Amino acid sequence: MSARLCEHADEAVAGIEDGSTVLVGGFGMAGMPVELIDALIRQGAKDLTVVSNNAGNGDTGLAALLAKGRVRKVVCSFPRQSDSYVFDELYRSGKIELEVVPQGNLAERMRAAGAGIGAFYCPTGVGTLLAEGKETRVIDGRTYVLEYPIKGDVALIGAHRADRTGNLVYRKTARNFGPVMATAATTVIAQVREVVETGVLDPETVVTPSIFVDRVVQEADRT
Amino acid sequence: MSARLCEHADEAVAGIEDGSTVLVGGFGMAGMPVELIDALIRQGAKDLTVVSNNAGNGDTGLAALLAKGRVRKVVCSFPRQSDSYVFDELYRSGKIELEVVPQGNLAERMRAAGAGIGAFYCPTGVGTLLAEGKETRVIDGRTYVLEYPIKGDVALIGAHRADRTGNLVYRKTARNFGPVMATAATTVIAQVREVVETGVLDPETVVTPSIFVDRVVQEADRT
Amino acid sequence: MNRNSQLTCGQGPLDKHAIAALIARDIPRGAYVNLGIGQPTLVADHLPADSGVVLHTENGMLNMGPAAEEGQVDPDLTNAGKVPVTELPGAAYFHHADSFAMMRGGHLDICVLGAFQVSAAGDLANWHTGAPDAIPAVGGAMDLAIGAKKVFVMMTLFAKDGTPKLVPECGYPLTGLACVDRVYTDLAVFDVTAQGLTVRETFGTTVEELAGRLDLPLRRPATA
Amino acid sequence: MNRNSQLTCGQGPLDKHAIAALIARDIPRGAYVNLGIGQPTLVADHLPADSGVVLHTENGMLNMGPAAEEGQVDPDLTNAGKVPVTELPGAAYFHHADSFAMMRGGHLDICVLGAFQVSAAGDLANWHTGAPDAIPAVGGAMDLAIGAKKVFVMMTLFAKDGTPKLVPECGYPLTGLACVDRVYTDLAVFDVTAQGLTVRETFGTTVEELAGRLDLPLRRPATA
Per-run averaged pLDDT (10 residues), chain A, 223 residues: 91 98 96 97 98 93 96 96 91 96 98 98 98 98 98 98 98 98 98 97 98 97 64
Contact B119 A108 (CB under 8 A): no
User: Residue B120 phi/psi, 5° resolution?
Assistant: -150, 150
Considering only CA atoms, which of C34, C178, C162, C214 is closest in space to residue C109?
C34
Considering only CA atoms, which of C115, C112, C61, C117 is closest in space to residue C88?
C61
- CA of A74, closest CA in chain B: separation in Å? 22
Quick one: DSSP state of residue D21?
H
Q: What residues of A are in contact with residue C30 (Cβ under 8 Å)?
A: 1-2
Q: Identify the chains in contact with D, defined as 3+ C-beta pairs within 8 A.
A: A, B
Question: How do strand A71-76 and strand A48-51 relate by DSSP bridges?
Answer: parallel
How many residues comprise chain B? 223
B22-68 tens-digit pLDDT = 999 999 999 999 999 999 999 999 999 999 999 998 999 999 999 99
In CATH, the number for domain A19-101+150-218 is: 3.40.1080.10
Q: What residues of A are in contact with residue D104 (Cβ under 8 Å)?
A: 104, 108, 122-124
A74-96 tens-digit pLDDT = 999 999 888 899 999 999 999 99
pLDDT for the residue C222: 62
Closest CA in chain D for residue A180? D97
- What type of residue is C5? S
CA B13, distance to chain mean position in Å, is 14
Q: What residues of C are in contact with residue A199 (Cβ under 8 Å)?
A: 89-90
pLDDT for the residue C129: 87
Q: What residues of A are in contact with residue D108 (Cβ under 8 Å)?
A: none
Residue contacts between A and D (CB atoms, under 8 Å): 141
Residue contacts between A and C (CB atoms, under 8 Å): 65
Rounded Cα distance between C159 and C115, Å, is 11
In this model, does residue B72 exceed pLDDT 50? yes
Question: What does the pLDDT average to over B64-81?
Answer: 95
* Cβ-based neighbour number of residue B193 at 10 Å: 14
Considering only CA atoms, which of C171, C172, C170, C190 is closest in space to residue C181?
C190
In this model, does residue D224 exceed pLDDT 60? no
Contact B203 D32 (CB under 8 A): no
Q: What residues of A are in contact with residue C109 (Cβ under 8 Å)?
A: 1
Closest CA in chain A for residue D100? A104
Q: Is residue D1 part of a domain?
A: no
Q: Do chains C and D touch (3 or more CB pairs under 8 A)?
A: no
pLDDT for the residue B222: 65
Question: What does the pLDDT average to over B107-120?
Answer: 98
Q: Identify the chains in contact with A, defined as 3+ C-beta pairs within 8 A.
A: B, C, D
Interface mutation target, options A23, A83, A124, chain D, most CBs of D under 10 Å: A124
Considering only CA atoms, which of D87, D24, A55 is closest in space to residue B201?
D87
Handedness of CA B91, B97, B100, B104 (dihedral sign): negative
B13-24 tens-digit pLDDT = 999 999 999 999
pLDDT classification of D78: cutoffs 50, 70, 90: very high
- What type of residue is D35? L
Question: What does the pLDDT average to over B155-172?
Answer: 98
Q: What residues of C are in contact with residue B124 (Cβ under 8 Å)?
A: 104, 142-143, 146-147
**Beta bridge partner(s), residue C189:** C184, C201
Quick one: DSSP state of residue D214?
S
pLDDT classification of D11: cutoffs 50, 70, 90: confident
Closest CA in chain D for residue B162? D90
pLDDT for the residue A222: 65
Rounded Cα distance between A160 and A101, Å, is 27
Rounded Cα distance between B201 and A102, Å, is 32
Rounded Cα distance between D200 and A5, Å, is 62
D133-167 tens-digit pLDDT = 889 999 999 999 999 999 999 999 999 999 999 99
Contact C138 B103 (CB under 8 A): yes
Interface mutation target, options C86, C93, C100, C109, chain A, most CBs of A under 10 Å: C93
Contact B27 C82 (CB under 8 A): yes
Interface confidence (ipTM) of the complex: 0.96
Q: What residues of C are in contact with residue A111 (Cβ under 8 Å)?
A: 101
Interface mutation target, options B111, B207, B210, B212, chain D, most CBs of D under 10 Å: B210
pLDDT for the residue C10: 57
User: Residue D189 phi/psi, 5° resolution?
Assistant: -115, 135
Q: What residues of C are in contact with residue B180 (Cβ under 8 Å)?
A: 95-97
Contact A165 C90 (CB under 8 A): yes
Q: Is residue C207 part of a domain?
A: yes
Considering only CA atoms, which of A153, A158, A175 is closest in space to residue A219?
A158
Find the domain containing D165 and state its range: 9-219
Considering only CA atoms, which of C82, C88, C39, C36 is closest in space to residue C62?
C88
What's the CATH number where D119 sits? Answer: 3.40.1080.10
Handedness of CA D37, D40, D45, D51 (dihedral sign): negative
D161-175 tens-digit pLDDT = 999 999 999 999 999
Helix (H) or strand (E) holding B216: strand B215-218
Q: Identify the chains in contact with C, defined as 3+ C-beta pairs within 8 A.
A: A, B
- CA of A45, closest CA in chain C: separation in Å? 26
Helix (H) or strand (E) holding A104: helix A103-115
Considering only CA atoms, which of A169, B162, A50, A210 is closest in space to residue C54?
A210
Considering only CA atoms, which of C185, C118, C180 is closest in space to residue C149?
C180
What three-state secondary structure class fits D200?
A: strand
Contact A118 B137 (CB under 8 A): yes
pLDDT for the residue C79: 96
In this model, does residue D10 exceed pLDDT 80? no
Contact C105 A115 (CB under 8 A): yes
Alpha helix positions (H), chain D: 16-26, 96-104, 141-147, 207-213
Helix (H) or strand (E) holding D90: strand D85-93
Closest CA in chain B for residue C57? B173
Nearest-CB residue to B88 (from C59, C128, C135): C135
Q: Is residue D45 part of a domain?
A: yes
Contact C138 B174 (CB under 8 A): no
User: Residue A131 phi/psi, 5° resolution?
Assistant: -110, 5
The number of domains in chain D is 1
| Segments of chain C scoring below 50 in pLDDT | 1-8, 224
Closest CA in chain C for residue B180? C97
Contact B116 D109 (CB under 8 A): no
